[in-house]
Structure 1
């Protein structure tokens, strides 16, 4: 199943935080040359980021996209693993400055549309139980809760004995969306 190299939309504008104007325009295939930028975003956005090796493996095995503006400003990225007619979303991240502006919804809708056109049938993902914005985003995109992976993610948890945050675990909510055309 072949995914188009870029998917373009000029239909929506988002007012970004800090009065930065940006128009989500297209998705392009992630290249090895993007990895330094991707790692900088990943390390800025997450307490427990992926490693360079994780992204290199994804480039070798998966479908990986960068979300861009018309002037090629990179807004975020996603990494997915296709298996037969299914796709598992492994990582999606929007540059923190652009979070909450609609970029993730617009970009993921374009990704889902392209997967459907390529005859994939279902998309799976895991999301932190505490990540309410992501749960809302995915529900709004038609994903349904499908289960729980207990203690799946590393997380900072409060330890009463030491009165401090310690490394612990957090549950993942499993979600899926059918791409079947009705």
Structure 2
């Protein structure tokens, strides 16, 4: 398993977030209020059951770590997580459909994990649809393990879909 890149000497984990950003012309940066319309538009394009604009706004106002992939002046992806009591919860990772398969999802996930380590997180949790094998494969490849299921967690065309619950134990740096 590839371990996430570590910040170069003299650089903080937050400043090193852009290290894994796929090239060319892409960079990771904190999500801003003026990104929300573009983030929400991407959410609608990427997901059959998207979050509302209000959920994104509430996450920013609650100061949840939220970053965007700026792909040549447009939002190509994003992540949001919550952090409390030594644990992080991946709330959302999204990559524009036309940019999927190019390493952007991995870059976003690795940036999220570096940020979690910088905040002294010991454990990271997430839920993923079993109907999303690409995401499950990504999480597996980065060291996440399935720890359970949440029955009927997600809305789905024919009712509800379970969630696969995954977790990663973070090894402290240094």
Q: TM-score when scaled to structure 2?
A: 0.84
CA distance in 2, matches of 1:11, 1:122: 23
Q: Which of 12, 17, 32 pairs up with 1:7?
A: 17
8 A Cα contact 2:87 2:122, kept in partner? yes
8 A Cα contact 2:39 2:75, kept in partner? no
Cα distance per residue 1:55-95 (max 9 Å; x no partner) = 111112211110234x4443200111111211101111001
State the match for 1:171 in structure 2: 162
**Superposed, which structure 2 residues align to 1:111-126 within 5 Å?**
111-126=112-127
Shift in Å, 1:114: 2.5
Shift in Å, 1:3: 7.0
| Bigger Rg over Cα | 1
Structure 1 gaps, min length 5: 14-21, 158-167
8 A Cα contact 2:21 2:108, kept in partner? no
CA root-mean-square deviation: 2.1
Aligned pairs, number: 161
Shift in Å, 1:110: 2.1
SS at match of 1:119: coil
CA distance in 1, matches of 2:22, 2:61: 32
**Superposed, which structure 2 residues align to 1:87-98 within 5 Å?**
87-98=88-99
